[in-house]
Amino acid sequence: MTTEPPGSTRLDGTFAYTWDLVGDSAAAERIASLGVGSVALQAAYHSVRVMTPHHPAHRIVHATHAAAYFPLDPHDWRGTRLRPAAPGWGIDVSDRFGTAASALRRQGLRVEAWLVLTHATTLGDRAPDLTVRNAFDERYGYALCPAQPEVVAYAAQLVRSFCARYDGAEVPALMLEACGWLGFEHGSHHEKTAGADLGAGCRNLLSICLCEPCRRGIAAAGADPAVVAAAVRRAVDAELRDGRRVPDSFAESLGDQAARAVLGHRRQVIEDLTHRIAAEAPGRELLLMADGDPQVTGPDSGLDLSRFDGPADAVVVKCWDDEDRSAARIKQAVAASALPVIANVSVLDEPPADLARRVARLRASGAQQFRYYHAGLASPARLRALRAAAGTTADITPTQEGAA
């Protein structure tokens, strides 16, 4: 990946959905006016219900299922159980990604394809045996397990189909979300799990997948998966029923050897998956949404960044929580990884006037680029805050880190 000099904003970007642009002739110009140089544009995405405050024709889009937002050749998917669905929101445009991307490029913006790989409830419902299975033998239907060969083949074909339709000059980079396991945390429709007051350690244990390929992988890494499952069940039930908090560390709940096996298996699967994706996308940059905590599951792959040996060109680190924790996370990622670090910053936090200060601090902590979430979801006041933040980053350099 060719990185810009510290302080450059040319490749700082924002996220956008295809429905933000299709049918709105002013959308691409509005995004370009924010002072960013790139847009991570939804190419394959999970179900969602969103406001579209700027669109002239609709106010709410409810995408009821995961879908590919570009045309697929049915011959590529013959004989497969996992096939992306077509979009469900109503507009008569066959290539929604291509239509939106063309509008962005006409404004001089670089387009990055935002691809969600293992988060798809419709596919999980179709093939429940390919989903994450916890230690209680319960399935997470929204979470395809990346240790399953059919899931890897699905992700590879999705990327292959995309790259066959759009060349590298049109779309030079892929933003990879859910390039690994989703776990217990989901935030699904009518979610009713908060009242159990689960701690982070308990949620992480409930996110350990013990499907057959994961059991084989954990065993190959040196631990008995049946023993791991029993340890998870004991620890989770002790918290749920007796109020004994699960420790944050896997090692304290599972033992050192089992913890190393679980995390080693995870790292190997994510590395293998990124290698498969890279093989289908030669010449493209891979921007990997990642979390530096290897115990984490979710849209950001949980990895020990100092040990990750996949082919990513940059890691995209989510900075949506407390400013101190976000700054510390960026510093840790920069220290751990030889890859460029891109900060994923939400413009939806309160108050929006704090965004410029947050961006300055993250830049000083070592973030080399920014992706602002999200140009289509933000109110006019939040877009003004995004514009102001994008305009300040050129004046902030990593030499100011001591002030962070």
Report which residue type is found at 41. Answer: L
Structural domain span for residue 325: 13-193+283-403
Report which residue type is found at 230. Answer: A
Query: Would you say residue 218 lies in a domain?
Result: no
Task: Respond yes or no on whether the N-terminal peptide bond of residue 351 is cis (omega within 30° of 0).
Answer: yes
Query: Would you say residue 225 lies in a domain?
Result: no
User: What pLDDT shows up at residue 392?
Assistant: 59
Q: Taking Cα atoms as reference points, which of 33, 120, 130, 40 lies closest to residue 85?
A: 120
User: What pLDDT shows up at residue 400?
Assistant: 36
Q: Is 338 exposed, middle or buried (0-12, 13-18, 19+ CB in 10 A)?
A: exposed
User: What pLDDT shows up at residue 394?
Assistant: 39
User: What pLDDT shows up at residue 93?
Assistant: 86
Query: Would you say residue 355 lies in a domain?
Result: yes
Asked if 179 and 151 count as a contact pair (C-beta separation under 8 A), the reply is: no
Query: Would you say residue 270 lies in a domain?
Result: no
Q: Which are the contacts of 335, defined by CB distance < 8 A and separation ≥ 6?
A: none
Half-sphere exposure of 2 (CA within 13 A, CB side): 5
User: How many folded domains does the chain comprise?
Assistant: 1
Query: Would you say residue 5 lies in a domain?
Result: no
Asked if 10 and 37 count as a contact pair (C-beta separation under 8 A), the reply is: yes
Residue the block writes with tokens 């189909």: 161
Query: Would you say residue 187 lies in a domain?
Result: yes
pTM score, two decimals?
Answer: 0.93
pLDDT tens digits, 250-274? 999 999 999 999 999 999 999 999 9
In this structure, the strands spanning 285-291 and 301-302 are parallel
pLDDT tens digits, 137-177? 999 999 999 999 999 999 999 999 999 999 999 999 999 99
The CA distance from 76 to 73, in Å, is 6
E runs forming strands in 252-388: 285-291, 301-302, 314-318, 341-346, 369-373
Round to the nearest angstrom and report the end-to-end CA distance of the chain.
Answer: 27
Query: Would you say residue 303 lies in a domain?
Result: yes
User: What pLDDT shows up at residue 297?
Assistant: 97
Averages of pLDDT over runs of 10 residues in the chain (404 residues) are: 42 96 97 97 95 94 94 96 89 91 98 98 96 98 98 98 97 98 84 86 97 98 98 97 94 98 98 98 98 97 97 97 96 97 94 93 97 97 95 43 36
Q: What is the CATH number for 394?
A: 3.20.20.80
Query: Would you say residue 207 lies in a domain?
Result: no
User: What pLDDT shows up at residue 10?
Assistant: 54
